[in-house]
């Protein structure tokens, strides 16, 4: 976005499908070539004064001092943060306080695309200025805490950007706050996500509460182990499964990485997260020596060794455990050797492409191998199509620009009776306020 010489990026993520014609999990851009391998296929825009010297070192593009003033980050998901690692670290990133804590946790356990950037933190409703633009961040509900939309006042009028949102989550009222605040400003432009705006979005719109009830039914139906794959920073899901575990006399056992995130997020007074040790236990994988030897673990991991739960302990207490196990950690099942008859809960989006289907087949093979039942149980982070339509009507902008969607032209079904125009963006093109 540009206004009177001030320039900001609204998020800077890696598209999930973008680039999949050239790159996948085996063919990847070379780190030494910085942005060059992505420029080759038009997967990064060639914007002067945006990238770091390191990102440009083996490309045709010459480094220039920053000409972009800020990245406004709506939330900490890869499709919103994934390209910030190429941005000049002199350019500050504005994000919510919770997002900054999530960044701290990932930075400590591995790395974060925000590493090296000055972080400017905001809270909902607290305005700040970047040149001629006045930015108002407003919270929304999504499948990660600390998610925001923005209302941005420019010399040509206001723009509203939704970030990612839903109404059916535990904090759906926050998204309604955004719609209300945005509509008050009578924005000329609305940039909205539309992940589930598609003809084949047949999945029913399960709420987090429904996930809890179904999880309880499943957990109570077995006397042996329950384990589940779910996104480690979806705090709503962590709370849901913690509640299901406690209500059935079990303990939620989480990975070290999730434990570190919970430790950081406990400093967020507005967030409810289970406490490590008091509410949840930490799973300890064997490394190098095969013993629980301090020297085998990173310094951030060592704090969790004392009181940690090993594979043999999970086996011993299997009727009392609800284990969080990511797919890449499934080989741990070889050590755990759970009794047959347990329950596996796949708590993530169902496969939507070939690569995902292959992974699902592998997961199902493991579940069959250990003799467990397989359950799909998930509440989406995104609003279904009709609720995106409600948001569009509620904000009542003059012009709607659908982004974060594979079917931008489908937004025209919402325009019945409305007085707004639809303008799907073109790759590499620009859209002006006035036109």
Nearest distance from C-beta of residue 371 to Zn ion, angstroms: 35
- C-beta of 77 vs 196, nearer to Zn ion: 77
Between 147 and 254, whose beta carbon lies closer to Zn ion?
147
When the beta carbons of 195 and 318 are compared against Zn ion, the nearer one is 195
Q: How many Cβ atoms from other residues are within 10 Å of residue 312's Cβ?
A: 11
Separation of alpha carbons 111 and 97, rounded Å: 18
Measure the CA–CA gap between 149 and 26, rounded to whole angstroms. Answer: 35
CA 12 to chain centroid, in Å, comes to 13
Of 147 and 245, the one with the shorter C-beta distance to Zn ion is 147
Task: Compare residues 77 and 264 and give the one whose CB is closer to Zn ion.
Answer: 77
The beta-strand segments (E) located in 38-92 are 70-72
Contact 378, 206 (CB under 8 A): yes
Which class for 188: exposed (0-12), middle (13-18), buried (19 or more C-beta within 10 A)?
middle
Quote the least distance from Cβ 321 to Zn ion, whole Å.
30
CB-nearer residue toward Zn ion: 99 or 183: 99
- Shortest distance, CB of residue 143 to Zn ion, whole angstroms? 7
Helices and strands counted in the chain (H then E): 13, 18
Q: Chain-centre distance of CA 113, in angstroms? A: 13
- Compute the distance between CA of residue 213 and CA of residue 308 in angstroms, rounded to an integer: 29
Angle subtended by helix axes 235-247 and 208-220, to nearest 10: 30
Residue 3 vs 234, nearer CB to Zn ion: 234
Min CB(78)–Zn ion separation in Å: 8
User: Between residues 133 and 140, which has the closer beta carbon with respect to Zn ion?
Assistant: 140
What is the distance between the alpha carbons of residues 423 and 420, in angstroms, rounded to a whole number?
A: 10
Q: How far is the CB of 285 from Zn ion (least distance, A)?
A: 28
Residue in the block written with tokens 């504005």: 94
Sequence-ordered list of residues with C-beta below 8 angstroms from that of 349, at least 6 positions apart, any chain: 378, 380
Q: Which is nearer to Zn ion, 77 or 237 (CB)?
A: 77
- The least CB distance from residue 428 to Zn ion, in Å, is 24
Contact at 8 Å (CB) between 297 and 225?
Answer: no
Question: Which tokens sit at 172?
Answer: 């759906």
Q: Indicate the residue among 7 and 75 with the shorter CB distance to Zn ion.
A: 75
Could you tell me whether strands 6-10 and 2-3 are parallel, antiparallel, or unpaired per DSSP bridges?
Answer: antiparallel
Q: How far is the CB of 74 from Zn ion (least distance, A)?
A: 8
Helix-, strand-, coil-residue percentages of the chain, each rounded to 5: 30, 20, 50
What is the closest distance, in whole angstroms, from the C-beta atom of residue 102 to Zn ion in the complex?
12
C-alpha distances out from residue 317 to 253, 314, 373, 435, Å: 11, 5, 19, 66
- CB of residue 405 to Zn ion, shortest distance in Å: 13
Q: How far is the CB of 33 from Zn ion (least distance, A)?
A: 28
Residues within the interface to Zn ion (CB under 5 A):
77, 164
């Amino acid at each position: 976005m540009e206004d009177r010489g001030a320039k900001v990026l609204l998020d800077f993520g890696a598209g999930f499908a973008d680039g999949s014609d050239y790159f996948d999990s085996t063919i990847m851009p070379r780190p030494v070539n910085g942005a060059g391998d992505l420029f080759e296929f038009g997967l990064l825009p060639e914007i002067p004064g945006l990238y770091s010297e390191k990102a440009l070192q083996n490309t045709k593009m010459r480094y220039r001092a920053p000409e972009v003033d800020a990245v406004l980050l709506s939330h900490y998901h890869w499709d919103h943060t994934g390209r910030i690692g190429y941005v000049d670290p002199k350019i500050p990133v504005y994000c919510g306080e919770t997002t900054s804590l999530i960044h701290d946790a990932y930075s400590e356990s591995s790395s974060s695309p925000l590493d090296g950037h000055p972080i400017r933190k905001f809270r909902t409703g607290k305005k700040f200025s970047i040149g001629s633009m006045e930015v108002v961040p407003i919270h929304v509900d999504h499948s990660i805490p600390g998610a925001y939309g923005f209302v941005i006042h420019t010399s040509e009028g206001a723009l509203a950007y939704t970030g990612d949102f839903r109404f059916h989550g535990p904090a759906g009222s926050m998204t309604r706050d955004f719609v209300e605040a945005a509509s008050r400003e009578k924005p000329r432009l609305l940039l909205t996500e539309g992940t589930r705006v598609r003809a084949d979005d047949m999945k029913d719109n399960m709420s987090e509460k429904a996930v809890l009830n179904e999880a309880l039914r499943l957990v109570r139906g077995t006397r042996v182990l329950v384990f589940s794959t779910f996104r480690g920073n979806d705090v709503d899901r962590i709370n849901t499964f913690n509640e299901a575990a406690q209500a059935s006399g079990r303990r939620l056992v989480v990975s070290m990485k999730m434990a570190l995130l919970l430790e950081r997020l406990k400093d967020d007074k507005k967030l409810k997260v289970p406490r490590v040790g008091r509410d949840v236990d930490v799973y300890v994988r064997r490394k190098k020596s095969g013993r629980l030897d301090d020297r085998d673990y990173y310094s951030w991991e060592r704090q969790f060794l004392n009181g940690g739960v090993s594979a043999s302990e999970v086996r011993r207490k299997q009727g009392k455990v609800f284990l969080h196990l990511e797919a890449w950690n499934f080989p741990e099942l070889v050590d755990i050797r759970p009794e047959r008859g347990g329950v596996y809960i796949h708590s993530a989006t169902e496969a939507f492409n070939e690569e995902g289907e292959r992974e699902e087949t592998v997961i199902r093979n493991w579940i069959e191998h250990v003799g467990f039942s397989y359950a799909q149980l998930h509440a989406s982070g995104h609003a279904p199509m009709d609720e995106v339509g409600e948001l569009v009507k509620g904000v009542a902008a003059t012009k709607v620009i659908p982004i974060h969607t594979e079917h931008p032209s489908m937004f025209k079904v919402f325009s019945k009776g409305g007085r707004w125009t639809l303008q799907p963006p073109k790759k590499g093109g620009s859209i002006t306020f006035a036109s």
